[in-house]
Amino acid sequence: MLKKTKLLLLSVLTAFFALLLIQAVPYGRNHANPPIVSEPSWDSPTTRTLARRACFDCHSHETIWPWYSRVAPMSWLVQYDVDKGRRKLNFSDWHNGAHEGKRPDKIREEITEGEMPPVAYRLAHPEARLTDAEKRRLADGLSATAIDPDPLRQSR
């Protein structure tokens, strides 16, 4: 019994020191949001409000960094998700092609089928849980926004 207790204590101490040691890895701690270059010409204020609630943390330069984004290994995952999200679709750098390749039908599909925002994000951010009606409204609004015939217009 004593041997099992010692082994358990050693395991807990090893895990604790490993968690302390990985805090030294610098990735995932650069939480400076770049300046907003340009936003799309939103089809309505409602679309922007819903996008802000459900999308902006990963798909804009207006990320709100939660406390756990400063603690490894969660900081690594959060930074990776934000970097990847901004590369794929960025509402803060819209007119520099930060949405190219994101067809309106693909955006609609990802929202209505529940792929976006991802389940893990919705669990940590209850405000991002959209009702079916809000999902349809966001999908319709983003589709209309993405096919705006005047790409040089900027609004906020």
- Tens of pLDDT along the chain (156 residues) come to 788 898 888 889 888 888 888 887 777 777 889 999 999 999 999 999 999 999 999 999 999 999 999 889 999 999 999 999 999 899 999 887 666 666 788 889 999 999 999 999 999 999 999 999 999 999 999 989 876 544 444 444
Q: What is the mean pLDDT of the chain?
A: 87
For residues 154 and 95, the answer to whether their CB atoms sit within 8 Å is yes
Write the pLDDT tens digit of every residue in 74-87: 999 999 999 999 99
Query: pLDDT > 70: what percent of the chain?
Result: 89
Residues β-bridged to residue 93: 38
Strands (E), the chain: none
Under 8 Å CB-to-CB from 138, ≥6 apart: which residues? 47, 50, 51, 54, 111, 130
- pTM metric for this prediction: 0.79
